[in-house]
Amino acid sequence: MRLRRDPDPDPTTARELESLDAALEGRSVDPRDEDLAELAVALRAERPEPRPEFALDLDLRVREGFGTAARSAPAARSARKAAARPWRLALPAAALAFIVATGAVTSGVFDSGGDPSSPQPPLALDEPPVQREAQEGAGDSAAAPATSPPLPAPPRVAPGARERRQERAATLTLAAPRDRIEETADEAIRVTDRHGGFVLSSSVSSGDDSEAGAALDLRVPSERLQRALADLSELAHVRARTQDTRDITAAFTSPRRRLADALAERRALLRQLARADTPNETAVIRARLRAANRRIDRAQAELRRLRERVAFSAVAVTIEPGSASAGTDGNDGSGGGWTLGDALDDALGVLRALAGATLVALAVLVPAGLLAAAAWPAYRLWLRRRRERALEM
Amino acid sequence: MNRRVGRSRGVTDFEALYRSSRDDVYAYVATLMRDRYAAEDVTAQAFERAYRKRASFRPGRGSPRAWLFGIARNAALDELRRRARTTPVAAEPADDAALGPDDEAETGARRLAVRAALHSLQPRERELVALKFFAGLSNAELASVLGTSETNVGTRLHRAIHKLREACHETA
């Protein structure tokens, strides 16, 4: 390389080099260097000359623009070009595809509406496993209150799989215009009915005072919880939404055991009653039977409540007064169709994500490029040295 | 011989460059290869490479001749490397024919001494002599071809010439 500055040659060396050049060009030479001049001329005379036929052939090829050579290996050349062009495009194309894909994925444009507060799509319908209750006791189902809604059909459970009982709950805070709070509450009740649920309690305060709002305590079949939440979320702008799942399998153990014990005791008492001889003995057994029946009723009631907690999820809906723009006009992305505003939001999201992905890509590419630029001269030097080793072979 | 044919970017008159450099390139390559036919192949290859890359020539990085000789040097070294890989035998087969077809007319003690002295040089020194005395490159062009400074080239050339002179005297 030329980074190191070499010292200038001494005057004698400079003079002798000048004499060599002069001799080669036919100029007069310093008398002190006549032998060098003769050597230069003698060396010049040793110059290898090309054969005339080779020179003629090469002249022709040059005149034709090496067309002969081009015809002799057209396939190789075209294949080389064909192979080189896609590679030139492949890297930028891959980088662009990476940036676009990263941007699209991270922007969330493929999500529903692109708004994190919008209702979640019914994709993750991991409906709660509403398990069929084991046969805890005769007459159990008949003892269910007539007012209770029918239990949802139990989902299919893989044979042998351990049945877990999960209690689910959700809270939803909606923002609706003051003049639409009552209407929104009514719509929420209709949604609950449509999904086979029921309203445990409701409280609606309308008007212009600060107390305006609604609170609904709903029960929705657990297997339809996600869809019901999605429908409820479309009623107004969603300010908050939470979901909670709790395993209550263990809570079933104690009432089941008490029920089984009481049933066994009742069967034994009934057998004793059949064998009783005296009125006094009969009265004692009947009293014990009544106590056993009460225990059976209590255990069954407790199991029923547990099953209802599994079968129905508690949904607490709070409706708060909010701005009109946060209503159900769809611009907030919480409901309605995909509007121009939503599209603009999505587009901005994509652009932000693209900018981020580009920044990340640059964070990798710029240092890599700097390193490559720094290593390039060393690489060239290494190549040159490697080539020049051929001289020593 | 040192006619400049480069203008702004790229070699604008390749044929002129070829005409002025054909024999010089051959002489240099033949000295490196020490094989007449291999030298012809490499010379043709060098000119073809130069022809195809003529648009990439940058006048700011040296003369067209220096550029051409850089290509010829790479082609020759590549061929030497290839031969070293495929032919494990010594890479310097003697080829007296490469020294000139008219030996009979000009044989003499002085010429034999020069020829012997030339063979006694190290390959890098012989390359330097070939570029200077056979190809007729200036010291600046030599520096460009060899990737070193003009001063360094002068020093190395001076050292090689003195070795040649001493070798000639010893032979004489």
pLDDT tens track for A112-121: 444 444 444 4
Token pair 């291999």 is at which residue? B38
Min Cα separation A348/chain B (Å): 44
Q: Which residues contact A132 (CB under 8 A, 6 or more apart)?
A: A154, A157
**How far apart are the C-alpha atoms of A223 and A157, rounded to whole Å?**
14
Selection from B130, B157, B152, B159 nearest residue B69 by Cα = B130
Q: Give the chain B residue nearest A23 (alpha carbons).
A: B133
Min Cα separation A332/chain B (Å): 59
DSSP string, B73-97: HHHHHHHHHHHHHH--S-S----GG
Is residue B6 helix, strand or coil? strand
Substitution target in B13, B17, B18, B26 with the highest count of A β-carbons within 10 Å is B26
pLDDT category, A301, cuts 50, 70, 90? very high
Beta bridge partners of A237: A175
Contact B144/A at CB under 8 A: no
**How far apart are the C-alpha atoms of A146 and A169, rounded to whole Å?**
24
Buried b (16+ CB within 10 A) or exposed e, A244-275: eeeeeeebbeebbebbeebbebbeebeeeeee
Do A384 and B147 count as a contact with CB atoms less than 8 A apart? yes
Q: Is the dihedral of CA B63, B69, B73, B74 positive or negative?
A: positive
Tokens coding A224: 């339809």
Residues counted in chain A: 393
φ, ψ of residue A242 to 5 degrees: the values are -130, 155
So what's the pLDDT on residue A360? 93
Min Cα separation A15/chain B (Å): 10
Do A43 and B164 count as a contact with CB atoms less than 8 A apart? yes
pLDDT tens track for B45-72: 999 999 999 888 888 888 999 999 999 9
pLDDT category, B172, cuts 50, 70, 90? low
Amino acid at A212: A
Substitution target in A5, A24, A54, A385 with the highest count of B β-carbons within 10 Å is A54
Distance of CA A340 to the CA centre of its chain: 26
Domain boundaries, chain A: 163-337
**How far apart are the C-alpha atoms of B163 and B117, rounded to whole Å?**
8
**How far apart are the C-alpha atoms of A71 and A73, rounded to whole Å?**
5
Min Cα separation B155/chain A (Å): 7
So what's the pLDDT on residue A260? 93
Q: Is the pLDDT of residue A379 over 80?
A: yes
**How far apart are the C-alpha atoms of A388 and B77, rounded to whole Å?**
7
Amino acid at A198: F
Q: Give the chain B residue nearest A39 (alpha carbons).
A: B165
Q: B14-171 adopts what CATH topology?
A: Arc Repressor Mutant, subunit A (1.10.10)
* Residue A132 to residues A151, A156, A245, A301, A310, Cα–Cα distance (Å): 10, 9, 19, 16, 10
Q: Do the strands A166-176 and A312-321 form a parallel or antiparallel pair, or are they unpaired?
A: parallel
Q: Is the pLDDT of residue A122 over 60?
A: no
DSSP string, A183-252: HHHHHHHHHHHHTT-EEEEEEEE-SSSTT-EEEEEEEEEGGGHHHHHHHHHTSSEEEEEEEEEEE-GGGG
Q: Give the chain B residue nearest A66 (alpha carbons).
A: B48
Task: Identify all chain A residues contacting B23, using CB atoms and an 8 Å cutoff.
Answer: 49-50, 55
| Total H helices, total E strands in chain A | 10, 5
pLDDT > 90 in chain A, percent: 35
Q: Is the dihedral of CA B11, B17, B22, B28 positive or negative?
A: negative
Q: Give the chain A residue nearest B80 (alpha carbons).
A: A390
**How far apart are the C-alpha atoms of B6 and B9, rounded to whole Å?**
7
So what's the pLDDT on residue A65? 85
Min Cα separation A42/chain B (Å): 7
Is A243 within 8 Å of A334 (Cβ atoms)?
Answer: no
Min Cα separation A61/chain B (Å): 9
Average pLDDT over every residue of A305-310? 90
Mean pLDDT computed over every residue of chain A? 78
Task: Identify all chain B residues contacting A2, using CB atoms and an 8 Å cutoff.
Answer: 143, 147-149
pLDDT tens track for A326-375: 444 444 444 456 788 888 888 999 999 999 999 999 999 999 999 999 99
Q: Is the pLDDT of residue B146 over 70?
A: yes
Q: Give the chain A residue nearest B149 (alpha carbons).
A: A2
* Residue A74 to residues A81, B44, B51, B141, Cα–Cα distance (Å): 10, 18, 16, 35
pLDDT tens track for A68-120: 544 444 444 544 555 555 556 776 777 777 776 766 666 555 554 444 444 44
Q: Give the chain B residue nearest A43 (alpha carbons).
A: B133
Task: Identify all chain B residues contacting A35, using CB atoms and an 8 Å cutoff.
Answer: 165
Do A61 and B44 count as a contact with CB atoms less than 8 A apart? yes
From the list B74, B81, B149, the residue facing A6 with the nearest CB is: B149
Q: Is the pLDDT of residue B91 over 50?
A: no
Do A20 and B129 count as a contact with CB atoms less than 8 A apart? no
Tokens coding A130: 């509403």
**How far apart are the C-alpha atoms of A369 and A392, rounded to whole Å?**
35
Contact B58/A at CB under 8 A: no
Amino acid at A227: R
Q: Which of residues 97-136 of B touch A (CB under 8 A)?
A: 98-101, 106, 110-111, 114-115, 118, 123-124, 127, 129, 132-134, 136
Contact B164/A at CB under 8 A: yes
From the list B23, B78, B80, the residue facing A49 with the nearest CB is: B23
Is A188 within 8 Å of A238 (Cβ atoms)?
Answer: no
